[in-house]
Chain A
Amino acid sequence: MRPFTYIRPATPQEAVGAFAEAGEGARFIAGGTTLYDLMKLTIERPAHLIDVTAVRGLDRIEMDGDRLRFGANAAMSAVAGDPTIGRDYPVLSEALWKAASQQLRNMATVGGNLLQRTRCMYFRNGGGGIYPCNKREPGSGCAAIGGLDRGQAVLGTSEACTAVSPGDWPVALVAMDASIEVLGPAGSRSLPVGDLYRLPGDTPHLEFTLGPGEMITAITVPKTPAGRLSTYHKIRDRESYAFALTSAAVALEMSGDRVEGARIALGGVATRPWRASEAEEVLIGHLLTPELALAAGQAAFRDARPGRHNSFKTELGARTITDALIIAAGRGRT
């Protein structure tokens, strides 16, 4: 446990300025549910914490115009519990409800959520110094490959890392073509949520595309009628309070039983929130039957590269998509 400084700026500009001033070793902190955890595990050793929770107006949920806009500091529980979101975009509220626990969701922010780090056990456990891990110690190797890899990814993996991107919310956002607004030393910009995440490649320690000192200020989601016919279906080792083994965010546009538009993204199986366009293509223009839904699910895993203990994820993942499609389509009938 290393000493660190702590400040609590009141505006986004102050926060970004403070970060630039603190330099190396600075970190933003919001709900702290990821960062403090990683500090206790000695994975993160920040020298300066810039707490953004006092930044004014950063927790607003706005629904005017053609986009939903969630301030980065909005609590997971606040967005999940919003009745309009629950009705018009169940995929968004379910992705939040099915994550963590109520206590954590009350603390955790929708912005911090995007930057949580993998739950790969070899990355988190052992106190450092036991398991080789390219993410933790670049170039040290990867203990998960050839090890106890039941929880590891089957899509988007590399020879250097197979760690799953753990978040549920980013998966739903990627399905819904969401973007983030970012403020940094060089001003503000926006980027699709999907572009926030890197594939591990040879550099699994580089996970996000944010520049140093860039702060997420908001998440925006284009409004769409597909939101109504949507779901976040999450399969895990227990009924709640667990990360996904496999999950699927699905939103549909239907004309009767025919699929006009489909958005599918996957969690628990890939090294980044995974848009499954192969699965979407199988569906478009066809009548949605359980058989077709399964074929779509299987298409999503065509390029899967399972390890020793996680090959079940391809079959389970395909079936998860199947059920998610049936659930989402069913919402049009009630």
Chain B
Amino acid sequence: MSTTAFPNRARVDALAKVRGEAKFAADLVLPRTLYAMTVPATIAKGSLSSLPVEAALRVPGVVRVLTPEDFPAPPPYSEDGPPPPPTLETIIAYRGQPVALVIAETLEAAIEGAEVIRPTYVAEAFACVMESAGAQRQPADEVAFGDAPAALSGAAATVESTYDSPTQHHNPLELIATVAVWEDGALLIHESTQASSLVKGAVAGALRLDPARVHVRGATMGGSFGQKAVQRQTALVARAAILTGRPVKLVQPRAQIFHTATYRARTRHQIRIGADADGKIVGVQHHVEQEQSPNGYFAVSEYHRDVIRMYGIRNYLGTGADIRLDRQDSGYMRGTHPQPAFFAFESAIDELAHKTNRDPVEFRLANDTRVDPQNGHPLSSRFLNECLREGARRFGWSRRSPVPGSMTASDGSLVGWGMACGIYQSATTPAIATLRIDARGHTRFAISGHEMGQGMRTAIASVLIQDLDIDPERLEIALGDTRAAPQHMTAGSWGTNSVVPAAMQAAQRMRAAVADLLDGRQVSGNLHRKLASIRRPFLQVEVTTVGPGQDQAALETLRQGGFAVAEAVYPEFSTFSYSAHFLEVRIEPRTRRIRVPRVVSIADCGRVISPRTAHSQVYGGVIWGLSHALREATEIDPRYGGYLNEDLADYVVPVNADIGEIEIGLIDQPDPLANPAGVKGLGQVSMVGISAAVANAVFHATGRRIRELPIRIEHLL
């Protein structure tokens, strides 16, 4: 493995994006396109009793209205994983569920048609928040090792608290959009998706189509982060295209997206943690409850996976429960499980360090581990303490006065310095890639993977341009296209570390293939020129890679468009990424506005392939973490169900003026075991822990421990 640092290359799509040339799904305008608009259910639970469509059909321009009758019955239950999302149904499971789809010649007509449809319902009692009467509590599997209760009973000091993290919704600027085209008996779906193969499977399953006749093309994505896996509207739009024989486009209004797309479940974490007289953590009890839809499969046990491996924890008892509610499915949202879990856990660590009179950085450094605490296997690489030391140095942590409320600014603001750590598993997926270089100057690399703005294309380009003498201007990297390569969902920070090794291997194989062809002849020029000189129109190589512990079966699953993730607790070792965040809050003396003028965030993501986009990942993670801590919460009125603050005016995300200085550092040490490129995941770990760092800083500034998010002015008055 070459260990030279990669250059700080600009994003390959930077110019297209800043010039507005990048085509998002909603930008696609095909000839003869029809426009769709959904009709959302106005009750929270029950069934449709009538769905009159005549008024809509009278609106000039309306072509057709799809109702539940236009869809096949849902596919039978299968062991292979979650069923495709429902289509249009007469049973209403949550407010905002689509009950009809109006298709029209113009968007205006579709909207007007949707507005005049007034279904009637038989309403039933419902439960939509954790506190609702009738919410079903369903215990989850335990995750345990050692004997935490016994260890804690012998601890020199313990703390026990409950932490609440709210429901939160994805709100990228890009609205969810699908364009479906039915032509010659085949369906082509253009969609902003991080899982084109799963979309293909889900649409085929829901509409009973032969998967071989369904193709999905990922459009430029304006933010994914877990929202854009299998989406509720895709099969509806596809069905409309089939029934009308014309391209159909749906751009969902934001208020509807709140009600149909997945979101971050609210969670409540009860944590008991203790240390011995030397400040070593002796045990952790962690009980977590989360919101869950009636048939949701979003696993509670995953809140424990990363917590277990944060420090050298010898005894752990993880329990949990789902609170079943009449809501749409929750799902992944950046840093998914660790995000709220680490608000809780890293707050609890801070509470314990404070209680035992230890500096929170020293406390963490002293609780390092070299092995996976759950199974005793080695951690393939772990530079957490390096992150901590580097962060502390850059931040100037040694100048911190430890007593809460003891630091003030010249304008009277209370100053708080807080820190916290993050961790996220570095999982891997198999990859199948083809690399083709031609004599006319063009290079094409196709692989399973999706460009979500995280910079996958830029990382692959970095590798190919570094390893191959090709024309970088004409390098095409096909991602997210089920016609170009078998696709795997891109998520969970497994993107770069799954595709970069394949790109490196493809480059190596290409160089070997060229050398074979030349057979010792000296031919000048770049690879394109060389091929031209020896009259080879093109040269193509294919490579496959699998994650640690995976075999051919994983590749076969990938070819079938399935889910083939090697989780980071690999057979012989475990691989995690780490982060340490340091930040300052300033709190106004009277009106108590909380500002974060500076953050230092250091991450261990293995080897850095694309410095520019890696830094961007961490900026984005830090900012979203601040948002999690201080801004975002979805509001649900238990009397009505649905989401009240369903737009960007009422769902508060940060603006530029909220963001101060953010300094980022990357340890950039290759992981020796996880993959030949030495890469680990970065997207999620950069966000995990930030919210606890904020809460810890607020405590340091004020002496008040806030255990619910977002932290707002009223908490501190």
| Cβ contacts B620-663/A at 8 Å (1 or 0 each) | 00000000000100010101101011110110101101100000
Q: Is A21 an interface residue, CB under 8 A from the partner?
A: no
Q: Is the CB of B713 within 8 A of A235?
A: yes
Residues of B within 8 A of A241 (CB): 655, 657
Asked if residues A312 and B717 are in contact (CB atoms below 8 Å), the reply is yes
The answer to whether A65 has its CB under 8 Å from any CB of chain B is: no
Q: Is A212 an interface residue (CB 8 A)?
A: no
Question: Quick check: A119 and B657 within 8 Å, CB to CB?
Answer: no
A147 close to B (CB within 8 Å)? yes
The 0/1 profile, CB within 8 Å of B marked 1, for residues 206-238 of chain A is 000000000000000000000000000001011
B467-484 interface bits toward A, Cβ cutoff 8 Å, 1 = contact, 0 = none:
000000000000000000
A10 interface residue per 8 A CB criterion: no
CB contact between A315 and one of B255, B649, B717 (< 8 Å): that residue: B717
- A272 at interface (Cβ–Cβ under 8 A)? no
A186 proximity list for chain B (CB < 8 A): none
* Interface segment out of the listed A74-82, A171-179, A316-324: A316-324
| Chain B positions 467-520 with a Cβ under 8 Å from a chain A Cβ | none
Question: Nearest chain-A residue to B713 (Cβ)?
Answer: A316
> Would you call B410 an interface residue if the criterion is a C-beta within 8 Å of the partner chain's C-beta atoms?
no
Contact of B635 with A148 in the complex, beta carbons under 8 Å = yes
User: Which chain B residue has the least Cβ–Cβ distance from A314?
Assistant: B717
User: Which of B108-116, B178-186, B239-247, B527-535 lies at the interface with chain A?
Assistant: B108-116
Q: Report the Cα distance A245→B717, complex, angstroms.
A: 14
Contact across chains for B591 and A323 when beta carbons are under 8 A apart: yes
Q: Does A131 touch B at the CB level, under 8 Å?
A: yes
A323 and B588 alpha carbons, distance in the complex (Å) = 10
A237→B593 CA distance, assembly (Å)? 8
> What CA separation (Å) do A277 and B637 show in the bound complex?
36
Report yes or no: B111 in contact with A1, Cβ–Cβ below 8 A. yes
Contact (Cβ within 8 A) A121 B717: no
Find out whether the CB atom of A323 lies under 8 angstroms from the CB atom of B590: yes
Q: Assess A240 versus B717: contact at CB under 8 Å? Given A127-B40, A127-B255.
A: no
Residue B684 lies at the interface, judged by CB distance under 8 Å to chain A: no
Question: What is the predominant secondary structure among interface residues of chain B facing chain A?
Answer: loop
* Chain A, Cβ-Cβ closest to B115: A42
User: A126 at the A/B interface (Cβ < 8 Å)?
Assistant: yes
Partner pick for A322 among B95, B590, B652, CB 8 A cutoff:
B590
Q: Does any Cβ of B come within 8 Å of A2's Cβ?
A: yes
* Distance, CA A323 to CA B95, complexed state (A): 44
Contacts of A148 on B, CB cut-off 8 Å?
635, 637, 644
Please tell me if B389 contacts chain A, counting CB pairs below 8 Å: no
Q: Tell me the nearest residue of chain A to B645, going by C-beta.
A: A121
Give the CA-CA distance A320 to B646 in the complex, in Å: 29
Q: Choose from B591, B635, B640, B712 the contact partner of A237 (Cβ within 8 Å).
A: B712
**A–B complex contacts, Cβ < 8 Å, 5 sampled:** A119-B650, A131-B637, A239-B657, A245-B713, A316-B592
Residues in A lying within 8 Å of B, measured CB to CB: 1-2, 42, 119, 121-122, 124-127, 129-131, 143, 147-148, 235, 237-243, 245, 312, 315-316, 319-320, 322-323
Q: Besides A241-B655, A316-B713, A319-B590, 4 other CB < 8 A contacts?
A: A125-B255, A131-B640, A143-B640, A235-B713
Interface residues of B (CB under 8 A from A): 40, 42, 95, 108, 111-112, 115, 255, 590-593, 595, 631, 635, 637, 639-640, 642, 644-647, 649-650, 652, 654-655, 657-658, 712-714, 717
